[in-house]
Amino acid sequence: MLELALKGSKRYFAWVAFLLVLIGIGGLAYLDQLMVGLKTTGMSRDVSWGFYISQLTYLVGLAASGVMIVLPNYFHGYKANKHMVIFGEFMAIAACIMCLLFVVVDIGQPSRMMNLFLHPSPNSVLFWDAMVINGYLFLNLFVGWTCLTADRARLPHPKWLKPFIYISIIWAFSIHTVTAFLYQGLPGRHYWLTAILAARFLASAFCAGPAILTLVMLVVERVTTFKIPRNALKTLVKIIAYAMCVNMFFFALEVFTAFYSNMPGHTHPLVYLFAGVHGHHELVGLMWTFIGFAAISITMLVTPKLRNNMKLLPWTLVILVIATWLDKGLGLLIGGFNPTPFNTITPYWPTGKELLVSMMIYAIGALIVTVLFKVATDVKKEMGHSQKLPCGCSTEDGCDCAAAEEAEAAPAE
Amino acid sequence: MKNNRRNFIKLAGIAAAGLAVAPKAMASGGGHSPASVNKDAIHAKHWGMVIDTTKLNTEEAIAKLAKVCHSIHNVPTIPNNQDVKWLWADSYAHTFPEQENPHLAEEVHQRAYPLLCNHCEEPSCVRVCPTKATFKRADGIVAMDYHRCIGCRYCMAACPFGSRSFNWGEPREYLDLAKLNPEFPTRMRGVVEKCNFCVERLAVGKLPACVEASEGAIVFGDLTDPDSDVRKVLRERFTIRRKPTVGTEPSVYYII
């Protein structure tokens, strides 16, 4: 089936070449990091994790998000999602690989990486995180590939696959819970030490993840014959709306707990992030951008007229992705390390080289998405599943394009 | 020899007998580590430290101890925030951020306090390490295996005391190679390090270097032995530990 990725338009290969160039440039930055060490990054003794680990956190959310398509399809028999499932699974594969790569580039001695498995330490959450992310990667690859192969042969999905599908749905929740446990079990890091962190992670994953997936699918619609079934899209956007509301509600719970109790450990990180302390205001603007963008995206998502406006939708989703990224991909990590254990502030900002290495990983992710989605959309095309009709509908929508065309043509006659 | 069932059963029997005796034979053959314990080594059930900040409280005095410590452990001096330190000085507010008070005795407030790894009884760094590169020894010392550490820095995030340092770059670039202590290894880049309570000195019967250089301001001994020097000081003087609320039970006590 992979051979489908080897045949394509000039535009397809130009895009692949472009990604390879980005990977090459980022690869040079990584080579430099390998040779001189992590001193090429902006991390320090006080802020000892940075951009890499925060991207891991954010992308675990993207990996877990496919379940918002898979779960309604398998647990609720919501068949409008039937032809979207494969994209959720393939996105998860790319996200899991990016997560693992972000761990690899973050460690100081990558050559000893396998110590994680040679000396397994079940007391360490990092060990479990590596387990669940690898497991989820395997499950999605296995389930996705098997289903697509069956589709292509015009066969029903094999029955024996069901247990794997159900396990993968539960597993999706586990990967983000375990990633939250990575943070929330550490004494003395007050911004992370909160029982609701895992729930917050899941909520933000289930809005940001599907939002990214939808944005990618809107691009897919432009470059292929695939068309998202209208009902599947509508449902997904509603899920995004609910998840974003829950996400911000959970954040508000944090704010209440911190400021009503007035416990210094709980208030300090929030004060640093949103107001600045000891003359450090590095993140204030970005954190308020997060609040502003979150408010805008929620307003646009909960108002039916704005939510159903397909011209506006991509912008709404982009705003939502930026808001959640500022919160979880930036503020969460820096707010955990600041104030430091000495109640001081050590600002952190990624260096250019750090961003180049991150770009490499994102480009690898994009390449995987490109190849897998190419295969999936080609199979869908072969099968005539969920294809674009001349009137802009999907073949799954059940709209009568011929009648619509006649109706349109009639007044002109 | 022809392969038949009879031969197979014979061989299997011999192999099974061999397996049964092998462990005993190996044990009597001296399968244990060839290293022997130095006869001068000093031992404890749980090493602990009491720092008398009424005696040791200036930046200069602490810097002197840090210099001794850093030179015997080949700790580099790196002039930026990617530095490595095992022992250093800081203010009261930074050392005991949870125990500050606006009307603290001026003299106490102005003292400098020595900081180092607390060698906690419940070390959160050990709990999170994914490779057991950092571990608690039977004598309570939290030690590091620089050769197993993968440099994930989870221990640094988990340490509530900021006691751990990472080698962001090549540490030997910042060491005077002519003045290295050949008895202690230098580190490579990409691994975490911290104070080790001078395990290498205890193993040959010497007290930790900072204790020796402190002229009596730091007492070191077995916290489980009621007759030890540390327990005697702890009985007589008022002491506090850093961040009692995080539950790691530090083994370093401060006389205020």
Closest residue of A to B94, CA-based?
A: A342
B85: CB partners within 8 A, 6+ apart: A45, B66, B70, B75, B165
Q: Are strands B113-115 and B134-136 parallel, antiparallel or unpaired?
A: unpaired
Residue A126 with chain B: CB contacts under 8 Å: 128, 130, 152, 154
| DSSP helix/strand/coil, B115 | strand
Show which of residues 158-187 on chain B sit within 8 Å of chain A, judged by CB atoms.
158-162, 165-170
| DSSP helix/strand/coil, A280 | strand
Cβ contact, residue pair A341, B90, below 8 Å: no
**Cα B114–Cα B189–Cα A30 angle in degrees, nearest 5:** 130
Closest residue of B to A187, CA-based?
A: B246
Q: What number of residues does chain A have?
A: 413
Report the C-alpha gap between A48 and A40 in whole angstroms.
Answer: 13
Q: What is the pLDDT of residues B110-121, one digit of tens each?
A: 999 999 999 999
Whether residue B253 contacts residue B232, with contact meaning beta carbons closer than 8 Å, is answered with: no
What is the identity of the amino acid at A235?
Answer: T
Q: Does B78 touch chain A (CB under 8 A)?
A: no
Residue B90 with chain A: CB contacts under 8 Å: 342
Nearest to B168 among A39, A46, A336 (CB): A39
Cβ contact, residue pair B169, A113, below 8 Å: no
Mean pLDDT of B96-119: 93
| DSSP helix/strand/coil, A127 | helix
Report the C-alpha gap between A60 and A205 in whole angstroms.
Answer: 8
Residue with the larger pLDDT of the pair B28 and B137:
B137
Cβ contact, residue pair B158, A116, below 8 Å: no
B187: CB partners within 8 A, 6+ apart: B74, B146, B167, B171, B193
Residue A336 with chain B: CB contacts under 8 Å: 157
Question: Residue B142 has what DSSP assignment?
Answer: E
Residue whose structure tokens are 């506006």: A312
Report the C-alpha gap between A157 and A147 in whole angstroms.
Answer: 6
Structure tokens at B113: 């306090």
pLDDT at A413 over 50: no
| DSSP helix/strand/coil, B222 | strand
pLDDT at A204 over 70: yes
pLDDT at A65 over 90: no
A10: CB partners within 8 A, 6+ apart: none
Q: What number of residues does chain B have?
A: 256
Q: Are strands B142-144 and B165-166 parallel, antiparallel or unpaired?
A: unpaired
Residue A38 with chain B: CB contacts under 8 Å: 151, 166, 168-169, 189-190
Q: What is the pLDDT of residues A245-283, one digit of tens each?
A: 999 999 999 999 999 999 998 999 999 999 999 899 999
Cβ contact, residue pair A344, B94, below 8 Å: yes
Show which of residues 9-68 on chain B sit within 8 Å of chain A, judged by CB atoms.
none
Residue A182 with chain B: CB contacts under 8 Å: 154
Output the average pLDDT for chain B: 92
Largest pairwise CA distance in chain A: 80
Q: What is the pLDDT of residues B29-62, one digit of tens each?
A: 555 667 788 899 999 999 999 999 999 999 999 9
ipTM, 2 dp: 0.91
CA-based nearest residue to A319, from A342, A291, A343, A341: A291
Cβ contact, residue pair B153, A48, below 8 Å: yes
Residue with the larger pLDDT of the pair A14 and B31:
A14
Residue A115 with chain B: CB contacts under 8 Å: 130-131, 133, 148, 150
User: Count of A–B CB contacts within 8 Å?
Assistant: 146
Q: Does B150 touch chain A (CB under 8 A)?
A: yes
What is the identity of the amino acid at B224?
Answer: T
- Torsion sign across C-alpha atoms A136, B155, A118, A97: positive
Distance from CA of B185 to the nearest CA of A (A): 18
By the 10 Å C-beta count (0-12 exposed, 13-18 middle, 19+ buried), A398 is classed as exposed
CA-based nearest residue to B211, from B233, B192, B190: B233
Nearest to A126 among B130, B149, B168 (CB): B130
SS3 string, A308-333, reads: CCCCCHHHHHHHHHHHHHHHHHHHHH
What secondary structure does DSSP assign to A328-369, as a single string? IIIIHHHHHHSS-TTS--------HHHHHHHHHHHHHHHHHH
Q: What is the pLDDT of residue B33?
A: 66
Cβ contact, residue pair B130, A121, below 8 Å: yes
Distance from CA of B182 to the nearest CA of A (A): 24
Q: What is the pLDDT of residues A89-144, one digit of tens each?
A: 999 999 999 999 999 999 999 999 999 999 999 999 999 999 999 999 999 999 99
Mean pLDDT of A306-323: 94
